[in-house]
Structure 1
Amino acid sequence: MSSPDLADAGASTDLIVTNPGTGSPVGTVPSLSAESVTAMAGAVRAAQPAWEALGPTGRKHWLLTFQDWILDHAADLADTIQSESGKPRVDAEVEISFIVDLLGYWSRHAAKFLADRHPAPHTPLMRVKRLSVAYSPYPLVGIITPWNFPLGMPAADIVPALAAGAGVLLKPSEVTPLTAVRLAEGWSEIGAPPVFAVATGAGATGAAVVENADYVQFTGSTATGKKIAAACAATLTPYSLELGGKDPAIVLADADLDRAVQGIAYGALVNTGQLCVSIERVYVEASIHDRFVARLVDHVEELRVGLDGRSIEHDLGPLANDAQLAIVTRHVEQAIASGATARTGGKPTGTGTFYPPTVLVDVDHTMECMTEETFGPVIPVMKVANADEAIALANDSRYGLSASVWTSDKGRAGAIARRLFAGTVNVNDSVVNLFHYTIPHGGWGQSGTGARWGGAQGLRKYCRQQALTIPAVPTMKKELAWFPYVPDKIAILQKSMRAFAARGKRRFG
C-alpha cells in the first residue's frame, strides 16, 4: 500500500491537493514542522487525562454526538472525499457509513471491553490471591494513514483509540488530507474535549508524530512500515503495522461460477483496486478456467469508468496519483512483454490517472503482477491443475494479509483456509472481513504486525495492561518462601507445587 517516505521534507510549505481525475487543485494544507507537531502533541497529551477520567460512558456521549455530526454532514464529507480522491460517489458514501458503524460499535461496547478482568489462579495454591487485569490508555496514540480511504482509514483507528480513552494525533496522507482536516473540525464543532488533532504534511511530519507518540498505528507500504518499526524500536514505543498485500483468490471446480466472478471482480476492483485487501491474483482450476475468464471479462467490460459528480454514475474512478498509475502501467506492460494477454483493458486511457479494469491471462510468478503489490484495477488469472497447486502458489509470497476460497464445499474451504499464509481468509466472499469488528484484521509476514479490531482486543491494544494481585484471604506474618530460608517450610512448598503440577506417581516423589 503506497505511503509517503519518512525522509526529511525540508522547509515547511503548503501542500496543494488535487483531484486526480482532473488534475485541478481542490485545496491546500500546511506541511507542519517537527516543532509544530510537538506542540500539537503536547496539547493533546495535556487534555487526555480528563478524557480518560470521563470513563467509557462519558466518552460514549461524545462519540455518539460525533456520529450525529457526521450523519448531519454526510453529503459535505462525501463531496470532500470525492474532491481529493476522485472516487465514485458510492465509494465515498461507504466511507461515511463505515465511520458511523465504527462509532456505534466501539462506543457501546467500550465499558464492557475495558472493565477489569479477574482471571482465575492457575492452581489451588494460588487462590490466596485475587487477580485483576486493569487497562490504562496510552496518553497519545499516533496514527498515520494512506490515501486510499481519506475517511475510512483514519476512522478505523481513531474511533477505537478515542473510545479506549487515548488522545489521538493523526497524520493523514499528503495526497488526501482534506477529509481528515474536516473531521477534526467536526470534533471541535461539537465541543468535544481537544483530544483529537490532525497534523498535515509529508514524511517529516509523520516522523515527528512517531517521535511524540506513546503508541503508533501505521497503515501503508511495507518499506515505510519497516522505517517506523525501526524508529519505534529505538525508543521502545509499541506499534502496530498494516502493510502491503498481494491477496490471492482460489477458485475450485465446484464453485458457484457466477458468484465467484461477481465477488472476485468486486474484491479486485472496488475503489479502483486501491484497497489493502484487494484480490490481486486469482488461481482457477483448469476444468473451469476458460469459462471463468470468459464470464469475468464480460462482467468487467460492463463496468463504468469515469469521474462522478454528486450522483451515482460510475463504478470505478481514477487512480489516486501519477505514481500509482505508473506502477499499474509497469506491471501490466511487463506481464504482456513476458507472454501474458490482456483480455480486456491493458493500457492507460490517457485521461488523468484513469486506468481501465484489466484482466490478464497466461500469467505466472515471474511477473511482477503476480508477486508485487499492484494496488490498481488489474486481475491476473492463472490456470492451476488442482487445489494443492493453487495453495502452493498462493503461499508463494512474502505477503500474507488476506485470501479467499471459492467452492461449494464449506468443509473443504475451511481446510484449505487453514493451509493459507494469510491473516484472514474469506470463503465465497471478498473484502467482507473489514466490516466484522469482532474478529482481528492483521497481516502475516511482510503484510505487517499486530492487528485491528478483534472485539475487546480492538480497544485494549490502545491500553497498557496492569496486573494486580490482592490478598483473597487473611495474610500470614511471613510467607513460606521468604527469608530466612527454612528447609522444612521450603520442602512443604515444593511438594505442594509438585503435587498440583506433575502427573502420576511423580506428583508425590
Structure 2
Amino acid sequence: MTATQPRTETDITVRNPATGQVSGSVPIHDADTVAKRAEELRAAQPEWEAMGPRGRKRWLLEFQNWLLDNADHLTEVLMSETGKSRNDASLEPVATGDNVNFWATHAEEYLSDGHPKAHSPLYRVKRFTTVYRPQPLVGVITPWNFPLAMPGMDVPPALAAGAAVLLKPSEVTPLSAVEFARGWTEIGAPPVLGLVTGYGDTGAALIDNVDYVQFTGSTATGRRVAVACAQRLIPYSLELGGKDPAIVLADADLERAANGIAWGGLFNSGQVCVSVERVYVEAPVYDEFVDKLAAKVRAVSQGADHDTGAMATEAQRDLVARHVDAATAAGAKVLTGGKPTGVGTFFAPTVLADVDQTMACMTDETFGPTIPVIKVADENEAIRLANDSTYGLSATVWTGDPHRGERIARRLEVGAVNVNDALANVFCPTLPMGGWKESGVGYRAGGPHGIRKYCRQQAITAPRIPTQKSELLWYPASKRKRQFALGAMRAMSARGWRRLGIKPRGAR
C-alpha cells in the first residue's frame, strides 16, 4: 500500500458533510503505535482461541446486546459523520447485531473438524482430519460509506474464528468505528479487538503487522493493498468497486421494478458498492418504465429525517456532478434532479434518459444518487451491455417469470444477482458476497466460508490400525516392494488392461 505524504497534524477533525459542523476528532496513529497495538493483540489472542467457539459465543452475544441497546446512539454518531438520513443510518446497528448473532451461533458448527473420506482403498487405513486454526491477527480496513456496518460484516466472523482483529476505518468517517471498539471494551470482553485511525500510512502499517487483510474500498487502492500483501506473502480478500446493472424485461411488474430500482440506486445517496448504477430496459416498456422511475425518484426527500441524506464528501458530490454534466453535454436528458442542491454535500436524486453505453455515467463508478437508463431491443442486448464492464460485483433482473430471471442471472458476469429485488444478498450471511473482474478478489460471508477464510487449514493423518515398523515405500528400496506398491496403486485406480500394467496395442 503506497504511503501518503508526511503530515504535520496529529489529529483528524471529522465534520458532518450535511451541515459542516464538527462531529469529533481522532488521533493519527503512526507506524510505531500500530506495531505496538498489533503486538498487544497477538499477546491476547492465544487465550481467546483457547476459549473455543462456545466461549467466544458468550462474548459475541453480549456484544450484540450492547449494539442493540445502544442503537439510537450509534445512529446519531453515524448521522453526524456521514450526513446520512436517520432512515438509512438506523439500519446499520441492527444489521450489525444480526450479523454478530449469526457468526456467534454458527461458529461451532462451521469450525468443527472435518473428516474427509479416503479417495482410495489404500488410504482407508488412515484417519484424515481437517482442522481450522485461526489466523493470529486479522487486519480489517473499512470504507467511509458504511462506517458501522462494514466493521459489523467483517470483524465478527474473524473474532468468532478465534483471531484477534485490528480495525482501521476510513479517515473520512472514523467515529462509528471508535464506538464499535468502545462497545467491545465496555462489555469487558478480552482485549482482542483493537483500533487504529489515520490516513494511508496507518493502513500501510496495519498491513505490515497482521497475518490476513480484509479490505473494502476502491479498486485503485485495492490493487496497492494486494501488492503489499503479496510482498509479505499473507492472504487477503478485497471487495472493490462496482457498476451494477439492472435489467428490466417487458414482462416485469413495472411498479415493483421502479420502486426497487429507485431504492437500490438511491439508498445511502447511491453510496453503496452494490447500488444500481445503470439500467437496461426492453423497448416495449421503456417509456412507461422511465416515467414511473422518474416519478418515484422525484418523490424521494432528502435530509436528516427524510428518505436519504448527503454525500459523504465534497469530492464525491463533485464527481457525481461531472458524470451528469458530461452525460447531458453528450445528449442525455435529465428527467429529474441533475444538480447539487446547494446545501452541504447534497446532490438531488437524478434520472438520466437517452444515455448511451460510452458515457462515463455508464462505464465509471459514480457512487452517487444517479440512475441512467438505456433502451434495449431484447434480453440478449441487455445481457451483452450489462456484461460490457470492467466491474462485476452484482446485478438485478426484473421479470414476471422468476425462472427466466434465474436463467438470465447465470449469463451475467457478476458475483451476485437479485431477481425482482435489490441489495437483498448483502443482508444474507449464508450467501457469498464477492466481485468478479475488477470488483474484487475473494468473498465475505457465504456460510462456512465466511469464517473459515480467517483460518489456516491444517491436515492431520493418523493410523486407524496398528502400524508396522516400516512401509512399502520407505527405505531401503527394493524391486519387489516397488512392484508390489505400484501394482496395488494400479489395481485401485486404473481401468482396463492398465490395472495389470499391460500396455494397449500400439503404445510405446
TM bin, normalised by shorter chain, reads: over 0.9
Alignment map for 1:408-447 (pairs within 5 Å)? 408-447=400-439
Per-residue deviation, 1:7: 2.2
Within-5 A mapping of 1:36-435? 36-306=33-303, 308=304, 313-435=305-427
Does the 8 Å contact 1:243/1:446 carry over to 2? yes
Aligned partners of 1:212 and 1:485: how far apart in 2? 47
Give the Cα–Cα distance (whole angstroms) in 2 for the partners of residues 40 and 63 of structure 1: 21
Letter paired with 1:120: K
AA at the equivalent of 2:249: L
Q: Secondary structure at the match of 1:343?
A: strand
Provide the C-alpha distance between the structure 1 equivalents of 2:5 and 2:451, rounded to a whole number of angstroms: 33
Instruction: Name the CA distance, whole Å, in 2 between partners of 1:41 and 1:108.
Output: 27
How far apart are 1:484 and its partner, in Å? 2.2
Q: Cα distance, 1:408 vs. partner? A: 1.6
AA paired with 2:48? W
Identity %: 58
Shift of 1:506: 3.1
> How far, CA to CA, are the matches of 1:6 and 1:397 in structure 2?
30
Distance 1:32 1:11 in 2: 12
Alpha-carbon deviation of 1:9? 4.2
Letter in 2 for 1:25: V
Whole-angstrom CA distance in 2 between matches of 1:11 and 1:109: 46
Give, in whole Å, the separation in 1 of the partners of 2:404 and 2:376.
Answer: 17
Paired with 1:218 and 1:431, the residues of 2 have a C-alpha distance of 20
Quick check: 2:239–2:441 contact (8 Å CA) kept in 1?
Answer: yes
Tell me if the contact between 2:48 and 2:56 (Cα under 8 Å) persists in the aligned partners: yes
> How far did residue 102 of structure 1 move?
0.8
User: What secondary structure, in the 3-state scheme, does the structure 2 residue paired with 1:22 have?
Assistant: coil
Question: How far did residue 8 of structure 1 move?
Answer: 4.0
For the residue of structure 2 that corresponds to 1:314, the secondary structure is coil
The superposition leaves residues 159-195 of structure 1 with CA deviations (integer Å, 9 ceiling, x where unpaired) of 1111111101100011111111111111111111111
Q: 1:477 corresponds to which residue?
A: 469
Which letter does structure 1 place at the counterpart of 2:346?
F
Aligned counterparts of 1:61 and 1:244: Cα–Cα separation in 2: 36
Judge conservation of contact 1:344–1:357 (CA < 8 Å) in 2: yes
Alpha-carbon distance between aligned partners in 1 of 2:392 and 2:492, rounded to the nearest angstrom: 42
Report if aligned partners of 1:222, 1:243 keep a CA contact under 8 Å in 2: yes
Q: Which amino acid aligns with 2:228?
A: A
SS at match of 2:286: helix
**One-letter identity of the residue aligned with 1:117:** G
SS of alignment partner, residue 142 of structure 1: strand
Q: Which runs of 5+ in 2 are unaligned?
A: 503-508
Are residues 433 and 9 of structure 1, via their aligned partners in 2, closer, same or farther at CA, if it must alter by over 3 Å? farther
Query: Quick one: structure 1 residues 142 and 62, their matched pair in 2 at CA, closer, same or farther if it must change by over 3 Å?
Result: same
d(CA) in 1 for partners of 2:328 and 2:196?
42
Give the secondary-structure state (helix, strand or coil) at the position aligned to 2:351.
strand
Root-mean-square deviation over aligned CA pairs: 1.2
Give yes or no for contact 2:87–2:308 (8 Å, CA) kept in 1: no
Equivalent pair of 2:14/2:23 in contact (CA under 8 Å): yes
Greater mean deviation of Cα atoms: 487-496 or 288-297: 487-496
Gaps of 5+ in 1: none
- SS of 2:412's equivalent in the other structure is coil
- CA distance 1:255–1:503, shift in 2 (3 Å): farther
TM-score, structure 2 as length reference: 0.97
Tell me the distance in 2 between the aligned counterparts of 1:44 and 1:8: 28
1:29 to 26, 49, 53: 26
**1:492 positional shift:** 2.2
User: Partner amino acid for 1:193?
Assistant: P
2:213 alignment partner, SS class: strand
Matched residue SS, 2:131: strand
Name whichever of 5-14 and 97-106 sits farther off: 5-14
State the 1:499 CA deviation. 2.4
Deviation track 1:277-318 (CA, whole Å, cap 9, x = no partner) reads 111001110111111000000111111112x1xxxx311110
2:43 aligned counterpart, secondary structure: helix
**For residues 497 and 256 of structure 2, what CA distance do their matches in structure 1 show?**
60
In the comparison of the two structures, how many residue pairs are matched? Answer: 501
Are 1:461 and 2:453 matched, yes or no?
A: yes
How far did 1:19 drift?
0.2
Q: Tell me the SS of whatever aligns to 2:460.
A: strand
Deviates more, 1:470-479 or 1:162-171: 470-479
Whole-angstrom distance in 2 between the partners of 1:376 and 1:110: 36
Give the aligned residue type for 1:114: L
Deviations 1:232-257 (A, max 9, x none): 11110110000000011111111111
* Structure 1 position 5, deviation (Å): 7.0
Report how far residue 128 of structure 1 moved.
1.1
* Distance (whole Å) between structure 1 residues aligned to residue 418 and residue 354 of structure 2: 25
Q: Secondary structure at the match of 2:90?
A: helix
